[in-house]
Amino acid sequence: MQKLQCNNVIHYSKKRLRIRLLSLNESVDVNILVSDFANVFPSFFISVMLNAKCISFSKIDDISEDEVNKICAYFNEYKLVKLKHKKEKPSKANIYASLLALANSYTSNPVLDKQASLLTSYPLLKEGLLDLVENGLTSHVLEAAAVAVSLLRKDYKAANSTNFMLNIGEYIEESAVLKSDDLVKELAKPQLTHAWVEENNELVKKSTDELKIGDIVVVSTGEAIAVDGYIVDGDANVNCVSMTGEANAVFKERGDRVLSSTIVEEGRIKIWAEAVGENTTTAKILHYMKDCLEEKSQIGKKAVNLANSLVPFTLSLAAIAYLFNGSSALASVLQADYSCALKLATPVAFKSAISYAGKRQILLKGSQVLERLSEVDTFVFDKTGTLTSGDLKVKAVYSFVKEYDEQSLLNLSASAEEHYFHPVAEAVVKAAKQNGFSHINHGEVEFIVAHGIKTSIDKEEVIIGSRHFLEDDEGVDFSKNEDKINELLNSGLTLLYIAKAKQLLGVIAMSDELRFNSKESILKLKQNGVKEVIMLTGDIYDRAISVANELGIDKVYAQLLPQDKAQITKKLKDEGRKIAFVGDGINDAPSLVQADVGISMQKGADIAKASADIALLKDDISCVVHAKILANETMKKIQKNFKSTVWINSAILLGAASGILNPSTTALAHNGTTIALLINSLKQNYKALN
């Protein structure tokens, strides 16, 4: 047997290889690395882990020691390609240079003092001149003018102190932007380029770009999942930390939904692909995060416009100061203005809040969402899947005909429902399996959104779904069984109705428990500015009132049809309320769009998540409260920064214009205030969330 020649091997077995590559880092273009490797070793599946600085390889056949040595030799010679347009970390070089120039200003060497001041101020003067040509009078022009006047007056201490403070402020701002972008990079990992697909009982390696809905994707131990979908075979422990924040692996089996970028720690599963490529959860989150971090809020735009509009005022004040108090007052006034703090602190506060929320599994789709959420005074909850867990369980089966007993009725329903991964369908199939499921042959199944399903058995039509669907749409007679149905509904059970050949065969009774923290979450919402909490449900009125009283809900709309929710949301908005709607179903999408702020739950339908302004990546209703508190706190911080900017800079300008403050003192006071406000914007001390 040939001896392994590679010293970088961390793990080697017949089906799996992992090697260490110390030169791996975030600047490496992983897509090129994977593509190059695939061209040389087409039979291997590769997974790159940048943080761990290692690469995993797997293969259908056994991995030979000769192949291990060839792979190691390949990477010993391979030259890693860096990402193009990689955003570098902010440099402190300008800070150090301007600090040295400032220190030199206190020496007795005027020639060196002048040269150092001109050299370190050149980038600022150049940017100011270009900004003047391209954009007219802006805050950058004012900053450059302040330094230029100080240089002309040979007041190098003032010029260098201004330049030094401006460089510190710019560094803090760039650091904040880079910190926000780090979240996007984390959401983008792991970068998957290939997946194993089962075709004609054989595994075929395909590019993720080639995957399509309906493909059966096979994922084994140590591999990342490339699609969103449902497990159709096998079971595994899946690490979902990248999507849900749960550190421990979650056991998944047939019927369970899995998301892209989660990792199979142990086991092997076959996944029916529901979403691929740009439509996967990971891709959507990455897209949303990029958009929202780049989006400018309304208040941010107002701050920028106000800041730029005040530049002519500052220049006019500088001219007046020059006429009455000379060039020193001119230089002092130019050192101070409102624009820096107004323009920088607001976007930094928003980006800091969005990043903070994202790391806590709350996806905010833009800074404007925070603004609108802070103004919300009415929360509207769809009951099922939001206030309740959405995890239905079959409690009992009731047959209304002699031809079908309880077990055969359950088998009939499960045979049709097993084709769909809906909470009701999953509950029925699970109950049937626990009671010795026997499949009943049937025809093609038709799924009617928000209503139920249709199929055929022995050439007779079978309808399974809501009462509205069976009775109003399909003409099934319920009159003979009204008393029993009402008895079950009054006991708080959810009913699934089964009919064949227009005859009601029976019902499957299910229950959905309230979330343990629903009551606490509603109380906290009211403590944080929410005036009214409303619940929408299809339940009968008595049951709805019982739930509302238990949770402390103010108003209830019961026995609703799917289309009623959006109409109620619109009506509430027309009354002048600021509405937040929380839902998770396909039929919630119109309401999520209609509301001022739409919030979708983690287990919600994809269309609900796409329609919402806020998507929860964690199945916890307390995240709704956290989002509201975060919005409130962020807007309070921005308003406080705004008021501080106006009052403090007004006092500085007054002192500068009257000659009380010299240029150096003015620069220190003005830029020190700006830096303090930036640091305050970066702080993530949201105590109310803890």
Distance CA 281, CA 286 (A): 9
Q: Is 298 exposed, middle or buried (0-12, 13-18, 19+ CB in 10 A)?
A: exposed
Q: Which tokens go with 277?
A: 């490529």
Task: Give the pLDDT band of residue 624 (cuts 50, 70, 90).
Answer: very high
Give the number of other Cβ atoms within 10 Å of residue 501's Cβ: 14
Element (H, E) at 597: strand 597-600
Helix crossing, 339-358 with 156-187: angle to 10°?
20
Mean of the pLDDT values across residues 267-283?
A: 84
Is pLDDT above 90 for 61?
no
Distance CA 346, CA 69 (A): 55
Q: DSSP readout, 341-380?
A: HHHHHHHHHHHHHHHHHHTTTEEE--HHHHHHHHH--EEE
Is pLDDT above 70 for 642?
yes
Residue whose C-alpha is closest to residue 612's, from 564, 567, 580, 576: 580
Residue 189: its pLDDT value, please? Answer: 47
Mean of the pLDDT values across residues 56-60?
A: 75
Residue 412: its pLDDT value, please? Answer: 94
Q: Which tokens go with 154?
A: 């040979």
The label of the residue with tokens 């075709």 reads 199
Q: DSSP readout, 32-91?
A: HHHHHHHHH-TTEEEEEETTTTEEEEEESSPPPHHHHHHHHHHHHHPPPPBPTT--PPPP
Task: Identify the weakest region by mean pLDDT among 64-73, 359-368, 564-573.
Answer: 359-368
Q: Which tokens go with 273?
A: 């692909």
CA 652 to chain centre: 41
Residues 6 or more apart whose CB falls under 8 angstroms from that of 274 comprise 213, 227, 228, 229, 230, 257
Is pLDDT above 90 for 470?
yes
User: pLDDT tens, 425-462?
Assistant: 888 998 999 998 998 998 888 877 667 899 999 889 99
Is pLDDT above 80 for 625?
yes
Residue 86: its pLDDT value, please? Answer: 47
Distance CA 58, CA 223 (A): 8
Distance CA 142, CA 447 (A): 65
Q: What share of the chain is helix, strand, coil (3-state, %, to 5)?
A: 50, 20, 30
Distance CA 263, CA 252 (A): 12
Q: Which tokens go with 580?
A: 């937040």
Task: Give the pLDDT band of residue 74 (cuts 50, 70, 90).
Answer: confident
Residue 556: its pLDDT value, please? Answer: 95
Distance CA 409, CA 390 (A): 23
Task: Give the pLDDT band of residue 247 (cuts 50, 70, 90).
Answer: very low
Residue 330: its pLDDT value, please? Answer: 85
Give the number of other Cβ atoms within 10 Å of residue 541's Cβ: 12
Using omega within 30 degrees of 0 as the cis cutoff, is the peptide bond preceding 190 cis? yes
Residue whose C-alpha is closest to residue 156's, from 112, 125, 187, 123: 112
What pTM value is reported for the model? 0.63
Mean of the pLDDT values across residues 488-501?
A: 89
Mean of the pLDDT values across residues 264-280?
A: 86
CA 400 to chain centre: 48
Distance CA 126, CA 146 (A): 13
Give the number of other Cβ atoms within 10 Å of residue 644's Cβ: 16
58 forms bridges with which residues in the sheet? Answer: 16, 45
The SS3 of residue 448 is strand
SS (H, E, C) 543-607: HHHHHHHHHCCCEEECCCCCCHHHHHHHHHHHCCCCEEEEECCHHHHHHHHHCCEEEECCCCCHH
Residue whose C-alpha is closest to residue 417's, from 447, 396, 373, 451: 447
Is pLDDT above 70 for 206?
yes
Residue 9: its pLDDT value, please? Answer: 81
Residue 5: its pLDDT value, please? Answer: 47
Is pLDDT above 60 for 244?
no
Task: Give the pLDDT band of residue 300 (cuts 50, 70, 90).
Answer: low
Is pLDDT above 80 for 686?
no
Is pLDDT above 50 for 608?
yes
User: pLDDT tens, 519-556?
Assistant: 999 999 999 999 999 999 877 787 788 889 999 999 99
Residue 375: its pLDDT value, please? Answer: 94
Give the number of other Cβ atoms within 10 Å of residue 618's Cβ: 17
**CA-CA-CA-CA torsion for 678, 681, 683, 685, nearest 10 degrees?**
150
Residue 575: its pLDDT value, please? Answer: 94
Is pLDDT above 90 for 650?
no
> Strands 393-399 and 503-511: what pairing?
antiparallel
CA 287 to chain centre: 9
Q: Which tokens go with 2?
A: 């040939």
Residue 289: its pLDDT value, please? Answer: 53
Q: DSSP readout, 499-522?
A: EETTEEEEEEEEE-PBPTTHHHHH
Task: Give the pLDDT band of residue 418 (cuts 50, 70, 90).
Answer: confident
Sign of CA dihedral 80, 82, 88, 93: positive
Amino acid at 334: L
User: pLDDT tens, 99-132?
Assistant: 888 888 877 677 788 888 889 989 889 988 888 8
Phi, psi at residue 651, to the nearest 5°?
-65, -40
Residue 184: its pLDDT value, please? Answer: 47
In the 8-state DSSP scheme, what is residue 588? G
Is pLDDT above 90 for 48?
no
Q: What is the mean pLDDT of the chain?
A: 82
Is pLDDT above 70 for 170?
yes
The label of the residue with tokens 């992983």 reads 30
Please answer whether residues 565 and 536 qualify as being in contact, where contact means their C-beta atoms are separated by less than 8 angstroms: yes
Phi, psi at residue 393, to the nearest 5°?
-135, 135
The helix/strand count (H/E) of the chain reads as: 24, 24
Task: Give the pLDDT band of residue 390 (cuts 50, 70, 90).
Answer: confident
The SS3 of residue 264 is strand
Q: What count of residues does the chain have?
A: 690
The label of the residue with tokens 């240089």 reads 151
Mean of the pLDDT values across residues 271-280?
A: 86
Distance CA 512, CA 209 (A): 39
Is pLDDT above 80 for 407?
yes
The label of the residue with tokens 């920088």 reads 344
Please answer whether residues 401 and 502 qualify as being in contact, where contact means their C-beta atoms are separated by less than 8 angstroms: no
